[in-house]
Amino acid sequence: MGLLSDPQCRRALGRLLLRLNTPLCVLSYLSGLAWFLLLPLLAPRTYLSENAMGSTMVGEGSDLGPRALALARDFGEHRRREGGIPVSWLSHTMFQLGLEVHSQPFARTLPFPDEAHERYLVRGTNVFGVLRAPRAASTEALLLLVPCCEGGKNEQAVGLLLALAGYCRGQIYWAKDLIFLVTEHDLLGTQAWLEGYHGVNLTAMQSGPFPGRAGAIQAALALELSSDVLTSVDVAVEGLDGQLPNLDLLNLFQSFCHKNGLLCTLQGKLPPPEGPSGPGYAQSLRTLGLMVLGQAGGAPGGPHGLFLRFRIEALTLRGINSFRQHKFDLGALGRTLEGMFRKLNNLLERLHQSYFLYLLPSLARFVSIGSYAPALGLLLLVLALRALELWMRLSRSEEGEGEPPVGEVRGPSDPVPPARGGLLYLVPPILISVGAGAALYLLPVRGQAVATQHFPVGEAEAVVLALIGIYVAGMALPHSTHRALSGGGQRGWMTLKLLALLALALLLTCLALLNFSLGFLLGVTLVPPAAAVRPGGNRLPLALLLVLTTPGLSLFMAVLLERELLEAPAGLGEAWQRFLGALGQGLLQEHLHGAHLSPLLCLGAYPCWLLLWNVLFWK
């Protein structure tokens, strides 16, 4: 019948697989890497697929520059006077502009002090005004968000928001409600507002009853702006857990930038020169690399990142003022925002036409899932090949234990092989690996009180140090576990390695769908040691390889690589500081916004890696 049901053919294939396994693995791994590096060349141009936004023309008539600046000054003055967000002034101003104004107070106690933002007990108020659509019932809404952080930042953004609200109030064509939202404590406020608006409580956020609602939010834009003039606009797309907004929203932004002559950047990188060229390719690859790192990190690239989980397509726009000669005033950005809102106002259904799973080597080009998935697929193939090889060797050694050779079959008179209950020796390493992962996940935050009592460290430091301590302690486990039990010999480590390979493949497959970048980075680092590891012989090179590719160290490498790609290389000391900060922020992200990165690493990648480490030291 088929190729696989013919025993001759199967045997030949099996033999081929056994003999050529290592070269095939190396080839597959290298082609996976090469595929990824070639992605910038495979990227087609972006195009707007949503009809409702594409064919209709809108003319922007606003000139908001001076008014925005005046409002920004007023706002700054009141903020300095009140030492926080001037709720009453904002409410009053919005009311005067003709909006329906509400405010939402919220409070949140962090699990441990956040050193980067210097906060622990957070109290704040979100203020928002709703412009009810004159041409439709309030069933749908669009949102403009300005996070109002500490210091003098984002004053101009609030000014622009108010000016735009005033202008929009005078227009008659709105078919969707417009929500103008000013949040306090950036992401925390945004989280509180989103939870309140949708009537859910995902994190331990405390906020009062939600005062007023508009329709279902179709799209949201977040604005960050700290200067009166700007040279370029940077757009951030990565959301929480690497979720991305619909590509059409980005296309819309890009087309308006083009129309209004704004210079826009992605990941802080200018668009690469058109046409195939060396520098152009390098620029694209760098942008792509930054996007992959950002997405893998799972932290939202801006306040918009939290909207994606509520299925609201969102972008963050950041005004940049650099040393470039050509500057724009706020009016140009205001016109862009107005145009985008008018086009979004024309939407007949949710943004769903374009891509959701993509990577961007530049603003004008994209790589869709069909193009990038093979890169990870080839990495996974290595694991599959290795697992098959191990399985064949295992079943062969079983047949070979004094029984007839492969291909022949045992008859009724032959003694039956001993019961396969001999897998008990696998239980301790697996239990220990999973247990170490669980300890890594649970202990640092739960045990911070104990740690601060007994050691002279702050709470935030205690958490990070406990994390590192447990992580390193996990690596010492194989030595202590082997004393307690007798190893299963050759078959023992092969079975354990088989299990580790399957667990890793499963983890990477799931990640490939949920957060491709994270899956790919973990694959690139963990696949070679997983394929190569074996006990006995010279252990040092393998041990070195394993230690170098442990998820913790990969994170450190990622920090270094990110600085390198930003063309601001960091020294080891600075990178270490950033690494510690990233650990603390990673834990906080999980508790504050429900990010999945730290549980994934603690309960998925780390136990997998520990299993491999156990294989290496198998006796």
List contacts with other proteins (CB under 8 A).
1, 4-8, 10, 243-244, 308-309, 311, 352, 356-357, 387-388, 391, 407-412, 416, 419, 502, 505-506, 509-510, 513-514
Min separation Cβ 213 and other proteins, Å: 21
Min separation Cβ 311 and other proteins, Å: 5
b/e for 256-277, b at 16 or more Cβ within 10 A? bbeebebbbbbbbbebbeeeee
Q: Which is nearer to other proteins, 174 or 516 (CB)?
A: 516
Q: Which is nearer to other proteins, 328 or 355 (CB)?
A: 355
Min separation Cβ 368 and other proteins, Å: 12
Q: How far apart are CA 161 and CA 181, in angstroms?
A: 9
Q: How far apart are CA 270 and CA 283, in angstroms?
A: 8
Min separation Cβ 33 and other proteins, Å: 24
All residues at 6 or more sequence positions from 9 whose CB lies less than 8 Å from its CB, including other chains: 3
Q: Which is nearer to other proteins, 8 or 538 (CB)?
A: 8
Min separation Cβ 598 and other proteins, Å: 18
Q: How far apart are CA 190 and CA 578, in angstroms?
A: 25
Q: Which is nearer to other proteins, 402 or 407 (CB)?
A: 407
Q: Which is nearer to other proteins, 416 or 424 (CB)?
A: 416
Min separation Cβ 296 and other proteins, Å: 17
Amino acid at residue number 126: N
* Residues 353 and 248 sit within 8 Å (Cβ to Cβ): yes
Min separation Cβ 113 and other proteins, Å: 28
Transcribe 58-79 into DSSP letters.
-------HHHHHHHHHHHHHHH
Tokens 């999980």: give the residue: 590
CA atoms within 13 A on the CB side of 488: 20
All residues at 6 or more sequence positions from 125 whose CB lies less than 8 Å from its CB, including other chains: 85, 87, 103, 104, 105, 106, 184
Name the phi and psi angles at 379, rounded to 5: -65, -40
Extract the tokens encoding 193.
């507002």
Q: What angle do CA 32, 33, 37 make, to 5 degrees?
A: 120
Q: Which is nearer to other proteins, 175 or 392 (CB)?
A: 392
Q: Which is nearer to other proteins, 391 or 576 (CB)?
A: 391
Min separation Cβ 243 and other proteins, Å: 6
Q: How far apart are CA 377 and CA 289, in angstroms?
A: 19
Min separation Cβ 385 and other proteins, Å: 13
Q: Which is nearer to other proteins, 312 or 587 (CB)?
A: 312
The 3-state DSSP class for residue 266 equals strand
Min separation Cβ 410 and other proteins, Å: 7
Q: How far apart are CA 321 and CA 553, in angstroms?
A: 35
The 3-state DSSP class for residue 390 equals helix
Min separation Cβ 5 and other proteins, Å: 5
The 3-state DSSP class for residue 400 equals coil
Q: How far apart are CA 50 and CA 31, in angstroms?
A: 36
Q: How far apart are CA 546 and CA 542, in angstroms?
A: 6
Q: Which is nearer to other proteins, 121 or 416 (CB)?
A: 416
C-alpha closest to that of 209 among 199, 194, 220: 199
* Residues 471 and 443 sit within 8 Å (Cβ to Cβ): no
Burial class (CB in 10 A: 0-12, 13-18, 19+), 544: exposed
Q: Which is nearer to other proteins, 1 or 424 (CB)?
A: 1
